[in-house]
């Protein structure tokens, strides 16, 4: 009998499961060989190929080599570091294991493979703006990523100094919608120093990353948050031996009140991916309340009678635009 041909989606899922199993096995094998009495814990603050910069518990920065077969290591990972002698007999710091993550943010890489972006994220800061105008569909895509990490989500509407009567109504409606769902929304302007103190406070006591389309002002916000970033980037570059103009490497920075931000252009512009349709449903906190309540178990929420989601939209209990964005994400996922 001829073998059933797998879809691209099934192939991608199987490959991901196999890769995860291999990485889990390798990490378990390494754990068995580690003398924990001779190790210390550090957090990865910048990653450059097989070498990275980590920060010890007393905030000392150390340059580290990576033991083979550890799998992917991301900025924000907590790692075990051991001192070993190199070929010349010199002491060097070697990462021998990656500690268990609370979450891992990934993006699409070459040929559909996933690439780690950052680990142990507490908050996803979704930045949109007046110009270019807010895109509710993209906001919802990022919100699904936050819900599935899981991490807290914060929505920032930037460049409010450009508001006119039309865009004010758009932003007011957006703020009202997402706040009614349970998300925090902050309006900001670098030019007029609006909302920045509120944003700084929201970044306290957690690890955050800023995401969103190019042109919404993420770089300006980062510069306002980290006025000495260029100095810190130069210090990181000198410590790792990389050029100071390297822009694709994620780096971790400390803020006031125990806040941390992981930043790079690659982090800011990442595109969320969903591995299953269930992840999409889980990512819509207002939609998932009605999941499983339809008359038919395999309801597509489009043409079937007695659809709980469509009923909720008709009653005004579920926002129509959010529901359309949910269906659009599901349709795009099933077409992959």
Per-residue pLDDT of the chain (336 residues; tens, 9 = 90+): 444 444 555 545 544 554 454 345 444 444 445 666 689 999 999 877 677 899 999 999 999 999 888 888 999 999 999 988 887 888 899 999 999 999 999 887 666 677 888 999 999 999 999 999 999 999 999 999 999 999 999 999 999 999 999 999 999 999 999 999 999 999 999 999 999 999 999 999 999 999 998 889 998 999 998 887 654 444 444 554 443 433 456 789 999 889 999 987 778 777 788 889 999 999 999 999 999 999 999 999 999 999 999 999 999 999 999 999 999 999 999 887
Q: Which residues are CB-contacts of 24 (< 8 A; sequence separation ≥ 6)?
A: none
Q: Given this structure, which CATH class describes domain 33-98?
A: mainly beta
User: Could you tell me which CATH class the domain 285-335 is placed in?
Assistant: mainly alpha
pTM above 0.75, yes or no: yes
- What is 104-268's CATH number? 3.40.50.300
What confidence score (pLDDT) does residue 70 get?
Answer: 87
Instruction: Look at the block and give the residue holding tokens 């957090």.
Output: 43
Tokens read off for 239: 């410590």
Domain boundaries, the chain: 33-98, 104-268, 285-335
């Amino acid at each position: 009998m001829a073998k059933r041909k797998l879809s691209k989606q099934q192939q991608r899922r199987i490959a991901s499961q196999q890769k995860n199993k291999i990485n889990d096995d390798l990490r378990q094998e390494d754990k068995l060989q580690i003398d924990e009495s001779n190790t210390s814990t550090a957090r990865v603050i910048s990653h450059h190929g097989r070498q990275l910069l980590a920060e010890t518990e007393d905030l000392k920065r150390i340059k580290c080599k990576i033991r083979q077969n550890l799998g992917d290591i991301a900025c924000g990972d907590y790692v075990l570091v051991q001192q070993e002698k190199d070929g010349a007999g010199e002491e060097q710091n070697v990462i021998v294991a990656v500690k268990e993550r609370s979450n891992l943010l990934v993006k699409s890489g070459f040929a559909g493979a996933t690439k780690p972006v950052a680990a142990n994220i507490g908050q996803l800061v979704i930045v949109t703006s007046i110009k270019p105008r807010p895109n509710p569909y993209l906001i919802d895509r990022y919100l699904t990523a936050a819900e599935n990490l899981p991490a807290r989500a914060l929505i920032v509407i930037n460049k409010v100094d450009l508001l006119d009567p039309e865009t004010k109504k758009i932003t007011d409606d957006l703020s009202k919608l997402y706040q009614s769902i349970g998300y925090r929304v902050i309006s900001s302007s670098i030019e007029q120093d609006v909302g920045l103190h509120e944003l700084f406070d929201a970044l306290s006591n957690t690890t955050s990353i800023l995401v969103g389309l190019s042109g919404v002002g993420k770089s300006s916000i980062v510069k306002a948050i980290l006025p000495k970033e260029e100095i810190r980037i130069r210090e990181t570059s000198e410590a790792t031996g990389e050029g100071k103009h390297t822009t694709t490497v994620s780096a971790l920075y400390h803020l006031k009140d125990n806040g941390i931000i992981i930043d790079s252009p690659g982090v800011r512009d990442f595109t969320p991916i969903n591995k299953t349709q269930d992840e999409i449903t889980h990512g819509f906190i207002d939609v998932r309340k009605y999941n499983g309540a339809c008359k038919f178990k395999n309801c597509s929420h489009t043409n079937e009678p007695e659809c709980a989601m469509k009923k909720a939209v008709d009653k005004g209990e579920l926002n129509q635009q959010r529901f359309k964005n949910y269906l659009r994400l599901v349709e795009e996922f099933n077409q992959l």
